[in-house]
Amino acid sequence: MRCLEQGSSLALENHGMIDKTDMEQRAIRDARAFLAATLTELGLMEPFFDRSPADIDRIIETCVDGFQDSMLRQSGRGDVPF
């Protein structure tokens, strides 16, 4: 609970943004290879080939955020996985 309260305070002070931890930053970098493999497999790599690491990280972060948001909304409604 203490961690949650501190995180909430930081988010409020920083307009909803909290710096990523070292572990989160590493996970995003590691996810780049998985994204590249999937894009290549689907024949979609070309438009992403010259994008910056920051652009790729933004795509990954957006997907993760969307996934987490959906899970929170579903849980908030009381949906139970089956």
Predicted confidence (pLDDT) per residue in 46-79, tens digit: 999 999 999 999 999 999 989 988 988 888 888 7
Asked if residue 5 is part of any domain, the answer here is: no
Render the burial of 45-64: b for 16+ CB within 10 Å, e for the rest: eeeeeeeeeeebbebbeeee
CB contact set of 31 (below 8 Å; sequence gap of 6+):
60
| Token pair for 79 | 């949906």
Domain count, the chain: 1
End-to-end CA distance of the chain: 29
Asked if residue 72 is part of any domain, the answer here is: yes
Asked if residue 14 is part of any domain, the answer here is: no
Asked if residue 1 is part of any domain, the answer here is: no
Asked if residue 13 is part of any domain, the answer here is: no
Asked if residue 47 is part of any domain, the answer here is: yes
| Domain that includes residue 66, residue range | 21-82
On whether the CB atoms of residues 28 and 20 are closer than 8 A, the answer is yes
Asked if residue 76 is part of any domain, the answer here is: yes
pLDDT tier at 3 (50, 70, 90 boundaries)? low
On whether the CB atoms of residues 76 and 48 are closer than 8 A, the answer is no
